[in-house]
Structure 1
Amino acid sequence: MPIPKEDTKKNLVFDVRVATVVPGKITGENKTYELKGIDLAMKLHYLKGLYFFNNTNITNSTSNNGTKNNGTTNNLWSVSEMKSVPMYDWLISYFVACGRIRASSDETGDRPSIKLNDAGIRVVEAQSSKTVDEWLAMEDFLSMQDQLIYNHALGPDLPFSPLVCLQVTWFKCGGISMGLSWAHILGDAFSATEFMNMWTQYMQGHHQKPKTLAIQHPSQPNYKPLSPSQEPTSVKRVNPVGDHWVNPTNCKIGTHTFHLTPQQLDQLHLKVHGSKMKDKDSSQFFEVITAIIWKSIAKIRNDLETKNVTICRPKTIKQEHGMPYNGQVLGTIEATFSVSSADPSTLVHLVAENYVDESNMVEELVNHDMSKFDYIVYGQTLHLLT
């Protein structure tokens, strides 16, 4: 039974404690990590992640690590325990995430960079008066998630702003949630996911000896200056925000989640492709979902500002050593017809065949406009991530 909204505003999260965890090894003084154009295009965006673990999951993970569990409290996930050898070792591999932004430096001039000063990541521990099940049953659960994810933005004191924040919230049932706030300038959603996966491995003792990663900057191709007709449609210029890196938009954003079972995916695929569907053809599920969402939004908006779609895909080449980076491919698709009245199969074909990679154009645009503008990527057009 859903919990009424009026009961969700009191004593949800309390006893908040904040700490900083640093790498277990010095990465070297006065090192600077130069940010690429695609990194700076993402400077006003932040990635949020929220993971729930019930008491059984916590007990099992503790048992695997050889730590005694009393059924209600697990010190493995406390701030004091997280500030231990496994986390120190983990952050050695992610030492770039422990740095701080410098708006300018001797090495990069007016181009922002990350100072590798081992300042660490922010770790927060809190308590909740609810159980995990009660929290998930709240009617406005999606709008309340920010209480489980530490409020995090870079600036206005950039040298003191962490790039990553983790919040562990204890529920009265013994379960926990882990909230991640990740500055997109550090890396894309795929890097953030790998960051969390690696952390759980380290905390459970399943890790190898940490390695210090050498920072490498592959040579960048030289692009011709962009003409106005060549400028990417996947990003939008905005006036510089100064040292407080927050999206200046005043739009209210809502959140909705829906889950599709394999059977429902098969039905959608069949509905779009009909008799043309092949038994082994499961490669276009994303394209099918994209086409249906695109068409539905176009109907709601009467085709207003729905001719362009941006799709973010991972690169096929995996980054060595799991180093966080913005390696996503920003691609755009443009429809020259009414999307709301189009056949879904036509949109599927458009998504699959007319994808234009704008990553290099975005890189060149930001490098060309350095210090003149900031940028909005997510929300500039209908944006989908695969």
Structure 2
Amino acid sequence: MGSLPDLEIPPPLTSRISTVVPATPRGDQNGAYQLNYMDLLMKLHYIRPVFFFNSEAVRGLSISDLKEPMFPLLDPYSHVSGRIRISESGRPFLKCNDAGVRIAESHCERSLQEWFDENGSCSFDGLVHDHVLGPDLGFSPLVFVKFTWFKCGGLSVGLSWAHVLGDAFSALNFITKWSQVLAGQAPPKSLQLPNHPEPKISPNSIYENPPTSIKRATIIGDYWLASSDSNVAIHSFHLTSKQLHQLVTIDATNKTKPSSYFEIISALVWKCIANTREDFGPKVVTVCKSTSNRAQNEFPTNDLVLSKIEVDVSVGKCDISDLANVIAEKNIVENHVMKKVVEQGEGKEDFIVYGANLTFVDLEEGDIYGVKLNGQKPIMANCTFRGVGDQGVVLVLPAPEDKEGDGNGRIVTVSLPKKELQKLKHKLEGEWGVDCASL
């Protein structure tokens, strides 16, 4: 079953928690923000990026300095500091009531290097607030930002962002805006409402079919978190630009049009996972992408395209190039079907998306290194999702610039049941030479 934070056990890092509210009170102008079908589909998921900075990047900064930019930033982001309400019909919405976001400050008795040596960059225990909405939704903050000071003078910035507010691109944009205000830039006076076209429906998509990219969920008590039958673990590995070039070269020998890095990486991981299973599956996976480039000051939104990818052959025996081609060319968009399912249930039902099928999420264009302190990028950044289903999720993210200076690689962060994750690491290392040691 899924787990919840045990409020009786102190966290591994001691924390002080405070609240930041918009600089300009809304007063009687408190409004309601209506959640669309994609917001409601994602309500049981949480986005958790962490950014690591060395001591030089945070020299001279205090917790007051770090909190101060959040006050004016929340003025245009009014619904981010709101709270969930349930309408008379049972459909959730956001009340823009200036209740604020939570700021946590903690201290770690290890240096950054000691932390990396012991935990790697995909272990967020204690660096992101253990944040789940509920049991009293009316008092549950939608966002936590946690600052953890290390004994070497370094700092981690951990964000826990309720997915109901917007997708990973929106979460990264929000925390990047915070760092820009910290650097002296004025916060945006207002945010642009997204004006993106509806995802294009594939010709072979049948409207009446139930969507395979989501499944109904059983939640834990009054918490917005799905129960789970597996103990999902997380691991990240780094593919260098040289390794990516080799994979694309292999792919290009079988195709006239080379695949994107995301498609090649997804094909590689899909094949390796299939080879760890007796049935050489799964034969159906989900691909999650953003619909388009985001405007700089865009209102947070869940602007995602969810596609079903299906093959009728043994995945474990496929060439990576063939799988990459299927991912690129044979996707069936299911957004329109999912919208129908949510609206038929009047927005009251609970679903999971990440891990309903094995899910591949394209975050290659996510500006995870756009967060800067004193003009310096993080030495490492990563992102995970909470609330992942038993089939697992694979995130493809930008990596820091390679030491050789010949381009950027990719960070691949995988959430799978523990036994499957160990088999995947063994397969990647033994057959593909990927270094799966903790980052």
The one-character-per-residue Cα deviations of 1:3-27 (angstroms, maximum 9, x if unpaired) are xxxxxxx99623x100000011134
Change (3 A) 1:371 1:263: closer
**Which AA in structure 2 matches 1:262?**
S
Q: Indicate how the Cα distance of structure 1 residues 331 and 353 shifts in structure 2: closer, same or farther if over 3 A, else same.
A: same
Distance (whole Å) between structure 2 residues aligned to residue 253 and residue 331 of structure 1? 23
Alpha-carbon distance, 1:356 to partner:
1.3
In structure 2, how many angstroms separate the alpha carbons of the residues matched to 1:218 and 1:294?
A: 30
> Which structure has the highest strand share of the two?
2
Shift of residue 303, structure 1, vs aligned partner: 3.5
Task: Tell me by how many angstroms 1:361 deviates.
Answer: 1.6
Q: 1:217 and 1:270 mapped to 2: Cα distance?
A: 37
1:130 is aligned with what amino acid?
A: R
Query: Aligned-pair distance for 1:242?
Result: 6.2
Whether contact under 8 Å (2:271, 2:318) holds in the other structure is: yes
In structure 2, the partner of 1:94 is: 77
| C-alpha deviation, 1:236, in angstroms | 0.3
Aligned partner of 1:196 among 149, 170, 175 = 175
The code of the aligned residue for 1:44 comes to L
Q: d(CA) in 2 for partners of 1:143 and 1:129?
A: 19
Aligned to 2:41: 41
Alpha-carbon distance between aligned partners in 1 of 2:192 and 2:245, rounded to the nearest angstrom: 45
Greater Rg over alpha carbons, structure: 1
Cα 1:35–1:98 change in 2 (3 A) is same
After superposition, the Cα gap between the structure-2 partners of 1:155 and 1:135, relative to the gap in structure 1 and judged at 3 Å, is: same
Relative to 1, partners in 2 of residues 1:19 and 1:327: Cα closer, same or farther, differing over 3 Å?
Answer: same
Structure 1 SS opposite 2:56: helix
Distance 2:86 2:288 in 1: 27
Aligned pair in 2 of structure 1 residues 355, 89: CA closer, same or farther (>3 Å)? same
CA RMSD of aligned residues (A): 2.8
Shift in Å, 1:321: 2.8
Report deviation, 1:372.
5.5
After superposition, where does 1:67-78 map in structure 2 within 5 Å?
69=60, 74-75=61-62, 78=63
In the alignment, the residues of structure 2 paired with residue 131 and residue 264 of structure 1 have an alpha-carbon distance, to the nearest angstrom, of: 31
SS of 1:247 mapped into structure 2: coil
1:24 corresponds to:
23
In the alignment, which residue of structure 2 is the partner of 1:332?
A: 308
Find the aligned partners of 2:260 and 2:73 in 1 and give their Cα distance. Answer: 37
Question: Post-superposition shift, 1:202?
Answer: 0.8
The equivalent of 1:6 in structure 2 is none
State the match for 2:166 in structure 1.
Answer: 187
Task: Write the distance in 1 (CA, Å) between the matches of 2:173 and 2:191.
Answer: 16
1:291 and 2:273 aligned: no
Code of the residue aligned with 2:25 in structure 1: it is I
CA distance in 1, matches of 2:11, 2:336: 48
The answer to whether structure 1 residue 148 and structure 2 residue 127 are counterparts is yes
Taking the TM superposition and a 5 Å limit, the aligned residue runs for 1:70-219 are 74-75=61-62, 78=63, 80-84=64-68, 86-104=69-87, 109-138=89-118, 140-141=119-120, 144-205=123-184, 207-208=185-186, 210-213=188-191
TM-score w.r.t. the length of structure 1 is 0.83
Moved more, 354-363 or 314-323: 314-323
Change (3 A) 1:11 1:158: closer
Alpha-carbon offset, residue 96 of structure 1? 1.2
Q: Equivalent of 1:310, from 258, 281, 286?
A: 286
- Deviation at residue 113 of structure 1 after TM alignment: 0.1
How many aligned positions are there? 348
Q: Which has the higher helix share?
A: 1
Alpha-carbon distance in 2 for matches of 1:186, 1:44: 11
Amino acid at match of 1:164: V
1:234 aligned onto 2:180:
no
CA apart distance, 1:227: 8.4
Structure 2, unaligned runs of 5 or more: 1-9, 363-439
| 1:355 aligns to 2:354 (yes or no) | no
Q: Secondary structure at the match of 1:336?
A: coil
State whether structure 2 residue 230 is matched by structure 1 residue 251.
yes
* Structure-2 separation of matches of 1:155 and 1:11: 19
Cα distance change of structure 1 residues 298 and 200 upon mapping to structure 2, 3 Å threshold: same
Partner deviation per Cα, 1:294-327 (whole Å, 9 max, x = no partner): 1111111133550111111111153573211100
Q: 1:359 to 1:326 in 2, by over 3 A?
A: same
Supply the distance in 1 between the matched residues of 2:344 and 2:128 (Cα, whole angstroms): 35
Q: How far off is 1:238 after superposition?
A: 2.2
Gaps of 5+ in 1: 1-9, 60-68
Amino acid aligned to 2:84: I
Structure 2 distance, partners of 1:323, 1:244, is: 26
Alignment of 1:47-66 (within 5 A): 47-59=47-59
Residues 333-354 of structure 1: CA deviation (Å, up to 9, x unaligned): 1111111111222111111111
Identical-residue share of aligned pairs (%): 40
Distance 1:218 1:268 in 2: 33
